Structures are given as structure tokens and as C-alpha cells.
Structure 1
Amino acid sequence: MTVPHRPESRPELRIEALDASGQLLGSARVPGDQDRAVAVAGPFRVEVAVSSGQAAASEIVLGVVNQDAQPFTGHLRLAVELSGTPDPWWLIPGLFYGENRPEACDRRFPRFEVGANDPDGMVSDHWSFRSDRAATPAVFVWNDHDGVVLLTSETFACGLTGVGFSHSGQTATAHVVYPYREAPVTYYGSAEPRPPERGRYVWQPGETVRLNASAGRIGADRHGYARVLREVYEQARHTHVVQPWMPIAEAADVAGEGLVRWHYDPDPGVLLETVGFDREVSGQDGLRVDRQAMHVGWISGIPWAYALLAHARRAGVASDDQRSAAMKVIDFICANLSPSGTFWGTWYRSKGWSQSWTPLKGGLHARTLGEATLFLVRALELGDDVRSARPVWVSAARSNLDVIRARQRADGNLGSVHHAEDGRVLSWAGASGLTWVAALAEADRFDDDGGYLAAAVRAGEYYAQFVDREFIHGAPEDVDLAPTSEDGYAAVMAYVALHRRTGEDRWLDLARRAADWMLTFRYTYNVDFSERSMLGAYRFASRGADQASPSNQHLHAYGLICTKEMLELSQASGDPHYRARAEEALACFRQLVAREDGEVNSYRGMITERYYQTSCFQPKGMLLTLSHAWSAGVLLLGCEQMLAVSLS
């Protein structure tokens, strides 16, 4: 719901001129009640025009002129302050969440800490980033009494823009900068930071450069970002168009074929996690780059075997090979439970069944186990014929559900890492147990005494604190306690499942809040790629793709896992926005799918895990030339879930 814009709702603006090294040359202020002003800062004369309306943030147009006689190489920075803020809470969508990296997190990437100055450790009280790292180039900051936001676009005439913030004493400052600056260091995906980087633009004498931004006060509720980002999405969706390469049913066919052709190995019945695009390339050890391993959930295993089985049942007799492959994968996993009664974490060709990707010896990750169990429960709901033909599946599902329910802590926490041998909970940290909420809530067929639902409700109440805090973290095995888009997917699936089972409005509200948080990772614009890059040459449209996490800054398709839940949330809440966002994600990832051998420098049905939309891990515009089982599987799942709704 929109509310009338009030002139006092816009914070005071500060315009700053920086030289190429970042040194402040001059600044000027524009009071929040002025819609037009002229500001002089360093060599810049800036005409400021503010458009008042009903939007949460006022539109700002800057007419910037270098009034010196000589060209100027430097930056213009626009900033807003929030005073009375000893301990700020930050949000740069997809990029920075609160402190961003909890102190106990083993993975190193940018972290905020009041008064900190440890660039080598990537801990600082000030950060600045290139805008294409953000799902929406915006900086939000809150204290206990108020909140402000400053937004811009990815590029202007001066090139790539930047977003960032700083904190000093009692004042938190959000900024956008033209062109971008990265400071105090540059993060490139590794624990070792790179030196600061900056964009370069020469402001010619007398030249007028027009820049746009938006700023507003949004109140103390951290969830206030939702209205702002929805407005940005609505404005951008008409100009940032996504054109899928194929219809949904065809994409499902291609993904299903690719999953079996490239990832399925019938001996012993696994979905291999990665397969190289180039079938002639070998790794450094002389072996192919294909990863000879299978997780039971997450990046391989039961979820994608379920998607394949659902596809085969819909497609009919022609998909017998896919049906057989899916059944064999689930058979193999269910027949090999760990001594503690849950699934194992990972199967390796070289050593068989083993633990998850955790440094805790013998550890099995709760999210991976929960996701495998959830989709096993769903596979058993495909028909009486499945349940009667596969009693080992029923036994495996019950074993996993019973064991996890028995380990639940009194406060509802389901544990994050479990020991494979003796069942001890090795870690209770984070919210990775959220996926078990959905598994327990959906297991109503096997819930003879209501115990599964009771456990799901207790866990739902416990994990609600993460949703309310706007900081959900711990879902992926390889990112430790960082906030990730995958935490958002798990939360949406959990709370939609609880609402479906109970009909209670509390769960619907938590599902909505979780979905809004999840969507902070979703790109609201199409990144500007060089036409010489792979993504630029194919005109890849990034709107609808998600930043994996602040630690893993690349686009991925895992958000398709909750297509069903987003559609259901839209229906239950009466809000078409959630359906539209599910549809845009599915449209986005029906791009760059090889329909024939040789397309996208790969083979039919190969689907990458990573699209590099910024400078992290690889140069912007590149594509990871590995097909992942989960990438094909999640596209297949999203297609089947969308088709199920369309055909119902």
C-alpha cells in the first residue's frame, strides 16, 4: 500500500567531490525540504531537482558540471546520513546484510563492525562496492527510531556506479558514487582481499552529466525495504525485459534429457554433481573435470531425481529411461542410511558414503538432509503405485523424520550439523534446520500421532526469530553462517508448508516476510554486459536471477526450488506480486540452455551453475563451463511446478 509522500520524509542530501585517490575535495548540503537547489563541491556545480510523489523514495536528478578550466578525473558522491545511530543495521540487496558476516563465520568476506579498520581481514566500519554486485543498487540503514534509503542505477554516462556506507560515532552514512569505488579493499571471492579498485571518468570542462538517484525515510521497521524494492521492480520490469529461449514444456524436456544424458550413472545409480562443457578437457590430475560425487540433497540427489520422476510421469511412456533413472537414484540413497538413522551426506566414487562439506568430523548438514527428506516425501505423494512399489522409501522417510524429531531441542531448534555415527548434534548455530520444517509439515500421510506437525510448529516458532531479524543464515554447506539466498528459499518453503497444513495466518505472514527477504537477492534490472563477453553476446537478461550470497557473488537459479511455494503464497495472500516474481525467475533461466550440441559452447541439456554478473571469481560476463546436476534439476522442477498449476 502506498502512502502520500511528505516533503519531510526525504533526508538531507550531501554532495561530495573526490579526487581519483578518494580524497575529499569539497562538499555541499541540500536540506530535505528543498526540491530545487544549486550546490558547489570541489570542481562540481550541481543542479539538484527533487520530484515529490507517492513513492517511498523521492527521485533526484543531478545536473553535474565541471566548472574548472581543466578536465577533472575523480568522483561525485551523493550521501544521506542517519544520526543517533551507535549500532546501524545495513542492507545492500544481495550484497550486505547487517554485519554481513557473523564473527563466528569461517568463510571470509566483507564484514561490518563499529570502529573496525582491518582491511586484510575484510572487517571495516566503511565499505564501498561497484553497483553490479547488488541485486538492486540501493543502500538502506536503520537505527532504533528511523531508517533511510539511497538508490541509483547500475550505469550512467560516467560508467559503472557504486554503492556503500560508513559509520562514525553516532552517524551512519549511506552513499552512491559516480563512477564506482571499491574500498577499503576489493572482494574477489577468496579469503585474500585485492587492492581497492575504482572506475575512471574524466569530467570535461563545461560538460553536463545527468545522474539520477532516489532517497527517502522509511521508518524504523527493517522490513520497510520491501515496499521500496517492490516499487523499483514495478518501474524496471517494463524496460528490463527478459526473453526466454523456449516455452516451459520444452525447457522441461531439455533439462530432463540433460540430467540423464550428462549426470546419471546407472552404476551404482547416482546423479554426478558436475560435468564439463568441454568433453576433451582434463583436470590438473589428468582426470576429467567431472565431479565423481553425489550429495543426497542440495547440489544433487533426491530433489532432482524427484523432479525427473515427476517429469517422466507427466510426459508419459517416452520418458521410461528418465523414470528408471530417477527411481534408481532414490533407491540407492534410501538403501544406504547412516548408522545414526538419517541419510548420509555425500557419496564419492573413490570412497563411498561420507559426511557433508563441513569441517566438523563426521558431520551431516541439516539443510541437505532435510531437503532430501522433503523431496522423498513428495516422491511418495506421486501415487499409490510408488508407495506400494518402494517400501524402502517409506522406511527411509520415517527413519529420517523420527530421528530428527527425537533430536529437537526444547526451544524448537532442530540442529544444524548432526553426527553420522552416533547422532549427536554437533552444531545448533544458524537456521539450516528450516528445511526440516517443510519436511515435517508435509509428512502428514505418515504423521500418525501428530508428532511431526508438532515438531514443525515448534521449529517454525524457533526459526521465526531469524525472519523477524531480517537475517536468515546457515543453509548452504559451503558458506558456513553467512546469509544467503538459499536461506530465503528454505524459509519460504517452511512457512508456506506450515500454512498449508494448519491454515494459520501467522505462518502466512512469516511466509510473506521470508519471501520479501528472499527477493532482496533477486536482480531487479538487466546488468550491462560487454558485447564481447559470453553473457553480452547472448544478451543475457539478469532480471529474475538471484545473487547466490554476499560470499558467493554470482547469479544462480536455485530460487526455482520454491516456484510452487511462491505460486501458493500469491494465491493465499491475494498478492499477484509473488506469482510474477516466480514467473520472471523461470523466464530468466530459460535463457542460455543449450537446445542442441554446440550451442552456448556446450551440449544439449547442459546447464551452468554460475553466471558472472560482476567481478568476482571470474571477469564480468563469463559463464562457468560446468553443467551441474542441481542446475538442470532445479530448472526441471520449476518447469514442472509451473506446469502443474497451469494444467490444474
Structure 2
Amino acid sequence: MTEPPIPVLRLEALDGSGGVVDSVLLPSAHTSERPTARIGGLAEIGRLEGHTPATDPAQTPVLVGPFRVDVSIKTIAAGTPSDVILDVVNRSGTPFSGHLRLRAEVRDAADPWWLIPGLFYGENRPEACDRRFPRFEAGASDPDGMVSDRWSFRSDRAATPAVFAWGSRGGVVVMTNETSPCGLTGVGLTHTGDVAGVHVDFPFREEPVTYYGSAEPRAPEAGRYTWAPGEPVRLNASVGRLAADRHAYAPVLRDVHDRNRAEHPIEPWTSVPDAADIAAEGLVRWHYDPDPGVLLETVGFDREVTGGDGSRVDRQAMHVGWVSGVPWAYALLAHGRRSRAERIEEQVAEYGPAEQIAAAERVIDFICSNLSPSGTFWGTWYRSKGWSQSWTPIRDGLHARTLGEATLFVLRALELGDDVRAAHPLWEVAARSNLDAIADRQRGDGNVGSVHHAHDGRVLSWEGASGLTWVAALAEAERYDDGRYLAAAVRAGEYYAQFVEREFIHGAPEDVDLAPTSEDGYAAVMAYVALHRRTGEDRWLELARRAAEWMLTFRYTYNVEFTPRSPLGVYGFATRGSDQASPSNQHVHAYGLVCTRELLELSEATGDPHFRERAEETLACFRQLIASEDGEVNSYRGMVTERYYQTSCFQPKGMLLTLSHAWSVGVLLLGCEQLLNHG
């Protein structure tokens, strides 16, 4: 069997404008055709079982530009990246304000595949995607359109500061820490001909443009550091070889997570039961409106500036799923019923179990009693105009993910007890109407469509994988299934498996079109765990595991460093366990709590505690910054923000969005209830 090409490791000195002052190829330790622990200074990942690596290599001095660099490469264990220590000294007699870049290359990469966790996936932005953000295209140079064959980013944009690249026969990874003695580090990629390069920068560079969350790019940016003559600076990185499978990132990122846990602690503000109580109160107190029975999507923290009704910032609207609606009403109903059964003391009677149950039932009633003419739910309710379409530019379009999520959680609400089913027959009617509509529209290859016409039921778009949520809904409809729903779930599961296997799942949120997102990962995990739960088949379990590991690429493995006077710095917010929303929406969020139950089940089914640990880690993360008293976090008890700005995108790093979102409160409540229910 032909081995993957030997990667090349380089050091480059860059001037302040990013120009290459000097480049040097590091000495290769490759002396045999057999794979060794050090090939060109790079560890072979996943291909060296049983090999005993070198553990104490000597330093290699390198001269590059104004620098003398003593390079130490140490392989800790076979199958893991090698640690690289760069002891740098400015040997010139003058200060140098520039950058040092560590670069690895892989050949046979005319059509490369990239991964920067949470930030860059393959081409990153499909050509047909309406949302504009950085896109890779071989040979391209269109900075204004954010299309290029080379990109560099600040490291805090990445869930793990690592860059992976694959050619046709193998790949390479280079990693570093978020910060170094030179300040914030950087990660990036380049492509020329059949050579794919990945690099880390000390300090960071952002080029060819800077992305700040809008369609209009900003000018390139760069960190500044002056290397004083004779000053010693120690820099750390890791490099490794990859097998050809694009999923070879999984053991690498798991190892990084395991190494970081002790150094990057999370300190929740509340216990799980207390967080559930606070979130349930927040949903009723701030987001529930009994007339007509909705969970308002956003509520401003500051009630004085905006006025008592918050009319200038409170969003007088409700989606049926996703950012509001049934999923969070279900969580509220489950919490209210548990609290009532356990006879938990009501700290605030006005928002206690009875009120929680009544509010949740009214919201689900309102949604289920207002189906669209096509037989599915509507997308969104607006106070000004009533029921309408989803957030899609396609006229009269209803988004499949939102419809599927609403249907899934109606089904789960019906499973809360015989009394629920007896009291709410309309819920079953609505759920079955949705299930029948989607099963009828399913294409022969299993695709259930991404956007549906609200009035005549035509499928308006088949693109992307937003239909994945319907796999879970169809699989969980066992009580009402004569076999038709399961058959549809299996066909859909087979169709959408290609997205998981390709390592590019995209299209789930209504507001980012065909971009890859963390929410696509959640949908995939929920879908394949549901199929495994229903059938017991190993294929679905393997897809669930693979989808979960892809989803976890969005999850921060470290705590971002904030300036001490920024809000997130003052509060000591720990980002480990939070998820980058997407390469398009570069803020961390809590939506990953939606599949807490599935990660717990996956851990049990695989015998792998890692998935449970990651679920608990996320719940610990978002039990920070939850106000338990009015006035905390500049908000009110039970309010929860949607956005934590861990990098420079939309807002300066260290800020948080001063809006409480129904889904942010609801998903915290859901995660708490799922963990408490699971034990």
C-alpha cells in the first residue's frame, strides 16, 4: 500500500505587512520507507500502532530572517501530534516588528479538504449560499467577495486553534494555543497547484480580509509584537500526519480536549436543579404572553431604556420551533410536571409549576390549532400580521428543520403521560398531519426537502441537510406508526448519511442558508440516535458517533482569554464547552444543549464516557452567567443571552448580547431536565 506523501515543515519570517522575509525547510528525520514516529518532523496519526517513538530529540538550530530558532520536536505517543517547541531569539541588532510562521504542507492536494474547527469546513461556503462569509476556491483571489485560495485568522475564532488539510492520499495538522508571549496567535491555510499548506502565526494575521459578521469585509488586520534584539521567546505548537480519512481529526481533537480539561476549568454558578428552576421562571416571567399564547423570541435586559414593554427591542414574534415555540414549551411542561410531582417549594408562586404547565400547554395548543393550508405548522407568528412563513427569501416557504423540530417536541410532549394525551387530542392530530405531509412529499431517494410551500405543499428546495430533523421526528412517532413513518425515517437516514460521511453537514438554521453550522451537527446526532433507539441497528449508531464527533468540532476545547475589564473577563466566563454557532455566525452559543439526551444515550450505547462528559461540560458552561437575582449580569432573574462574543465578530471580544432569547432560556431548561431525567 502506498503511503501518504511526506509533509514538509517550514519556518517563515514575515514582515509587518505579511511579506515573506525568509523561509527555511526544517531538517527531515525520515530515513526509511517504513512509517516512523517522525517523518519530516511530523507524527503519523492513526498509523503507528505498536511503534515506540523517540522521546528526547535534540534541538535543531535554524536561521530564518532575523531569527535564530532552536527547534525541538517531541512525540509523546504514537498516534498523537508531535509537540514543537520553538526557542526564538532576534539575532539582529535591531528590533523586528513582524511574524514567525510555522507551516506544514501536503502534496497531491489539487482538490484539498480543510478543517479549522468551528471556523472552516472544506470550501466553507457553498457557491450557491446566499450568506457571504469566507470561502475557499482554488486559484481564486476575490477579497471583496470573500473568496480566496489562502486565508489567515486570529486563533480565538477557532474552537480549537488547529488547521487540518487533506490531499488525495493523506493529510497534515498544525496546532497551537490561543495566546503566546507574542500575544494572540493565528491559524490559516494556503493552496498553490497541488500543494496544501496549513500554518500557525506568532502573532496572528487576518487576510486577505477580516470577517466581522457582515457581507462587507473589513481590511486585513494583524497582531503587533516587537522582537527585541537578544530577547528569548518560547513558542509552542504541535504537528502531525493524518490518514486519508477526513474523519482523522476526531482522535486529535479528543486528545486536545483531554489535555486541556485540567488547565481550563469551568465553574458553574448554580446547581442543575437550581438552573432549571431559574430558567423555567424566566420563560414564564419574561417570554410568555398568554394572549394569544406565545413565547416571545427576544426580551431586552434593560427594561428602563426600552420602556416597560420593551417595544424597541422585544421581538413580538414566535417561531414554531428553533428560536422559540414548541421545544421550549415542552421543556417548560416537563419541568412543571416534575416540580409538581416532587412537590418542590415554589420560591415565586406567580411563576410556579401550575403557571409553568398552563403556559406550556397554551403555547403548544396555539401552535397546534393553527396549521398551514399545506398541513404542516406555519413558520412564524407575528403580532402585527399573524401566522406567516419562515425566515427564508423564498416566498411562502416553510423551513424543514423548524417544522421537524416542532413536530418532534410535540411528540415528546405527548409521551409525558396518558393524562397529557387525553387532555390534548389536538396535539396528536397536528403531529400526525405534519408527519403525513412530509412522508407524502418524500422523494424516492429519501430526501424530505428543505423548504416547503405553506399553501400547496410543494417542495421549493431540496438543497442541504435541513431535513435531518425529520428523521428524528419520524423515528420517534412509534405510538402512531403502522410502519410507514419508520420506513420514511430509514430512507431519509440513508439519504442524509452522505452529508455525515462527507464531513460537511449544512443548511439547518433558517438564517444562514446553506452554511455548515453546529446546529446541523445537533440535528444529525438527534436523527441517528433516534434511528438506533428505534431499530437497534449498528449502522445508525456508527453514524450517530461520527455525527457527534463532527458536531464536537464546533465545541471550544479551551477557555478564551478576555481582557479583565470586558464583561466576560470580569465574570471569568469559561468558554470550554460552548459551541461556535457557525463559520458565518462567529459567537458561542448554548444550542448544543438540545441534544443532551442523545449524547447521554450515545455514551451508554457505545460504552464511551467521552460523549457524556462533553454533554455535562456544556451544561456546566451555560450554568454560568445565568442571573439568579434581578440585577445580576445587568439583567433580571431568568434572563439568558444568546450571544457570548469570544472573538471579534459582530461586537468586540468580551461583550455579550443584552437580549434574553426564548431558545437560550429554553435550551438551558431542556438540558437540565434531560440530565436530571437521565440520572
> Which bin holds the TM-score, normalised by the shorter protein?
over 0.9
Question: Which residue number corresponds to residue 17 of structure 2?
Answer: 21
The separation in 2 between residues aligned to 1:361 and 1:288, in whole angstroms, is: 27
Confirm or deny that 1:416 pairs with 2:414. no
| CA positional deviation for 1:286 | 9.6
SS in 2 for 1:14: strand
| CA positional deviation for 1:12 | 3.1
Confirm or deny that 1:304 pairs with 2:328. yes
Confirm or deny that 1:443 pairs with 2:477. yes
Question: Do the aligned residues in 2 keep the contact of 1:276 with 1:289 (CA within 8 Å)?
Answer: yes
| CA positional deviation for 1:9 | 10
Match of 1:231 among 211, 231, 255: 255
The separation in 2 between residues aligned to 1:173 and 1:48, in whole angstroms, is: 20
C-alpha deviations, 1:101-143, integer Å up to 9, x for none? 0000000000000000000000000000000000000000001
Question: Which residue number corresponds to residue 639 of structure 1?
Answer: 672
C-alpha deviations, 1:459-482, integer Å up to 9, x for none? 000000000000000000000000
Question: Which residue number corresponds to residue 186 of structure 2?
Answer: 162
Question: Which residue number corresponds to residue 164 of structure 2?
Answer: 140
Question: Do the aligned residues in 1 keep the contact of 2:4 with 2:170 (CA within 8 Å)?
Answer: no
C-alpha deviations, 1:22-74, integer Å up to 9, x for none? 11111111134164311111101100001123142100000010001111100
C-alpha deviations, 1:351-376, integer Å up to 9, x for none? 00000000000000000000000000
Q: Partner letter of residue 61 of structure 1?
A: I
Confirm or deny that 1:261 pairs with 2:285. yes
Question: Which residue number corresponds to residue 580 of structure 1?
Answer: 613
**Structure 2 unaligned residues grouped into runs of 5+:** 30-40, 42-56, 344-351
Query: Residues 10, 255 of structure 1: CA spacing in aligned structure 2 closer, same or farther, 3 A cutoff?
Result: farther
Question: Which residue number corresponds to residue 539 of structure 1?
Answer: 572
SS in 2 for 1:550: coil
Question: Which residue number corresponds to residue 379 of structure 1?
Answer: 413
Query: Residues 8, 341 of structure 1: CA spacing in aligned structure 2 closer, same or farther, 3 A cutoff?
Result: closer
Match of 2:509 among 460, 476, 483: 476
Decide which moves more: 79-88 or 633-642.
79-88
Question: Which residue number corresponds to residue 3 of structure 1?
Answer: none
| CA positional deviation for 1:237 | 0.5
Question: Which residue number corresponds to residue 35 of structure 2?
Answer: none
Confirm or deny that 1:400 pairs with 2:446. no
Confirm or deny that 1:30 pairs with 2:64. no
Question: Which residue number corresponds to residue 533 of structure 2?
Answer: 500
**1:173-322 equivalence runs, <5 A:** 173-282=197-306, 287-316=311-340, 318-322=352-356
Decide which moves more: 626-635 or 37-46.
37-46
Q: Partner letter of residue 376 of structure 2?
A: T
The separation in 1 between residues aligned to 2:6 and 2:334, in whole angstroms, is: 51
Question: Do the aligned residues in 1 keep the contact of 2:589 with 2:644 (CA within 8 Å)?
Answer: yes
The separation in 2 between residues aligned to 1:12 and 1:171, in whole angstroms, is: 10
**1:547-586 equivalence runs, <5 A:** 547-586=580-619
The separation in 2 between residues aligned to 1:598 and 1:286, in whole angstroms, is: 17
SS in 1 for 2:98: strand
Match of 1:524 among 539, 546, 557: 557
The separation in 2 between residues aligned to 1:46 and 1:375, in whole angstroms, is: 58
Structure 2 length as normaliser, TM-score? 0.93
**Structure 1 unaligned residues grouped into runs of 5+:** 1-6
Question: Do the aligned residues in 1 keep the contact of 2:299 with 2:310 (CA within 8 Å)?
Answer: no
Question: Do the aligned residues in 2 keep the contact of 1:345 with 1:356 (CA within 8 Å)?
Answer: yes
The separation in 2 between residues aligned to 1:287 and 1:274, in whole angstroms, is: 11
Match of 1:604 among 620, 637, 642: 637
User: Percent identity of the aligned residues?
Assistant: 74
Question: Do the aligned residues in 2 keep the contact of 1:12 with 1:31 (CA within 8 Å)?
Answer: no
The separation in 2 between residues aligned to 1:392 and 1:68, in whole angstroms, is: 79
Q: List structure 1 runs of 4+ shifted beyond 4 angstroms.
A: 7-10
The separation in 1 between residues aligned to 2:425 and 2:139, in whole angstroms, is: 59
Question: Which residue number corresponds to residue 513 of structure 1?
Answer: 546
The separation in 1 between residues aligned to 2:310 and 2:504, in whole angstroms, is: 43
C-alpha deviations, 1:553-589, integer Å up to 9, x for none? 0000000000000000000000000000000000000
Match of 1:80 among 104, 117, 126: 104
Q: Partner letter of residue 571 of structure 2?
A: Y
Question: Which residue number corresponds to residue 374 of structure 2?
Answer: 340
SS in 1 for 2:510: coil
Match of 1:361 among 382, 395, 398: 395
The separation in 1 between residues aligned to 2:425 and 2:71, in whole angstroms, is: 70
Question: Do the aligned residues in 2 keep the contact of 1:10 with 1:216 (CA within 8 Å)?
Answer: no
| CA positional deviation for 1:8 | 11
The separation in 2 between residues aligned to 1:281 and 1:499, in whole angstroms, is: 51
The separation in 2 between residues aligned to 1:521 and 1:444, in whole angstroms, is: 32
Question: Do the aligned residues in 1 keep the contact of 2:5 with 2:106 (CA within 8 Å)?
Answer: no
Tell me the matched-pair count.
638
SS in 1 for 2:511: coil
Match of 1:119 among 135, 140, 143: 143
Query: Residues 105, 9 of structure 1: CA spacing in aligned structure 2 closer, same or farther, 3 A cutoff?
Result: closer
Q: Partner letter of residue 356 of structure 1?
A: S
The separation in 2 between residues aligned to 1:553 and 1:141, in whole angstroms, is: 21
SS in 1 for 2:521: helix
Confirm or deny that 1:328 pairs with 2:362. yes
Question: Which residue number corresponds to residue 4 of structure 1?
Answer: none
Question: Which residue number corresponds to residue 127 of structure 2?
Answer: 103
The separation in 1 between residues aligned to 2:105 and 2:359, in whole angstroms, is: 58
Q: Partner letter of residue 22 of structure 1?
A: G
C-alpha deviations, 1:350-401, integer Å up to 9, x for none? 0000000000000000000000000000000000000011010010010000
Question: Which residue number corresponds to residue 498 of structure 2?
Answer: 465
The separation in 1 between residues aligned to 2:10 and 2:499, in whole angstroms, is: 34
The separation in 2 between residues aligned to 1:539 and 1:573, in whole angstroms, is: 35
C-alpha deviations, 1:163-199, integer Å up to 9, x for none? 0010001111000000000000000000000000000
| CA positional deviation for 1:541 | 0.2
| CA positional deviation for 1:10 | 8.0
Q: Partner letter of residue 538 of structure 1?
A: Y
Q: Partner letter of residue 644 of structure 2?
A: Y
The separation in 2 between residues aligned to 1:460 and 1:32, in whole angstroms, is: 46
Query: Residues 182, 142 of structure 1: CA spacing in aligned structure 2 closer, same or farther, 3 A cutoff?
Result: same
The separation in 2 between residues aligned to 1:83 and 1:554, in whole angstroms, is: 34
The separation in 2 between residues aligned to 1:167 and 1:144, in whole angstroms, is: 14
The separation in 1 between residues aligned to 2:625 and 2:393, in whole angstroms, is: 35
Match of 1:39 among 55, 59, 62: 62
Query: Residues 10, 240 of structure 1: CA spacing in aligned structure 2 closer, same or farther, 3 A cutoff?
Result: farther
The separation in 2 between residues aligned to 1:540 and 1:560, in whole angstroms, is: 18
Q: Partner letter of residue 618 of structure 1?
A: Q
Question: Which residue number corresponds to residue 615 of structure 1?
Answer: 648
| CA positional deviation for 1:287 | 3.6
Superposition RMSD in Å = 1.3
Question: Do the aligned residues in 2 keep the contact of 1:11 with 1:31 (CA within 8 Å)?
Answer: no
